[in-house]
Amino acid sequence: LTASRRYDPGDLPQNALSRGFYDRPTEQVARELLGKTLVREIDGSVLAGRIVEVEAYLGEDDEAAHSFAGITERTRVIFGPPGHAYVYFSYGMHHCLNVVAEPTGRAGCVLVRALEPLSGLDEMFRRRPRAKAPRDLCSGPGKLTQAMGITLSHYGADLTAGALTIRESPDDDALIVRQTARIGITRSAELPLRFHLLDNPHVSRAR
DNA sequence: CCGCGGATCTTCT
DNA sequence: GAAGATCCGCGGA
């Protein structure tokens, strides 16, 4: 169970999730993103990982959400059409990837916190020189963006088509999901909006 | 394994 | 001006 599953790029799921998948309540989108496959095509190689940990950030009554302050230059995409990427620069050093949910005009997004690497591990190790084992590649929101080369250039990117997509997974049925409080926030910290797969070694460590 | 502090810079107060 | 949806290396148990 500690070994990472590895697939040839040709074996990865081909169908990207549709707009309708994201056009729903944020919490539901968050939970159902678990097990799906994030695919990044770059410089002729295919990087992919299975989503094993996410957090929901709501549009109302959630003081931890960036959208709580309303529409700004940074947050405008969160209020836009669902299925697009909200990427922000964190702590002056890291990028974090979110997926926009809810109908157009309403705020809500899902932070992708951890992946189980599936494909392109050699390239991921190149992008993360300090990583020693596969579990060091994508076991945190800043790690996975570095491993997959996701930056502010992906702000607003359409995740239903193109070089950065989230794809359907064949084995959603057997997933065991655990729901806890979110990590690393101070406001609205009591809300149980973090979801992860039970006992998956690639889930980030709580502090 | 666990806790602590430094790095680094954008955003909002 | 301060906080922040983080990561890493260090030191101690």
Q: What is the pLDDT of residues A189-207, one digit of tens each?
A: 999 999 999 999 999 976 5
Give the residue from A59, A65, A22 showing the smallest Cα distance to A185: A65
- The predicted-structure confidence for A18-27, as pLDDT tens digits, reads as follows 999 999 999 9
Strand C close to A18 by CB, under 7 A? no
Q: What is the mean pLDDT of residues A125-148?
A: 97
Q: Are A195 and A35 in contact (CB under 8 A)?
A: no
Distance in Å from C3's C1' to A95's CA comes to 17
Distance in Å from C3's C1' to A69's CA comes to 15
CA atoms within 13 A of residue A74's CA, in its CB half-sphere: 12
**CA dist A119 → A39, A123, A164 (Å):** 9, 9, 14
pLDDT of residue A171 exceeding 60:
yes
pLDDT of residue A80 exceeding 80:
yes
Band of pLDDT at residue A1, cut at 50, 70 and 90: very low
Q: Which amino acid is at A161?
A: A
**How far is A121 from A106, CA to CA, in rounded Å?**
37
Q: Are A114 and A52 in contact (CB under 8 A)?
A: yes
Contacts of A155 by beta carbon, 8 Å cutoff, 6+ apart: A77, A85, A86, A87
Q: What is the pLDDT of residue A207?
A: 56
pLDDT of residue A17 exceeding 50:
yes
pTM above 0.85, yes or no: yes
Q: Are A159 and A99 in contact (CB under 8 A)?
A: yes
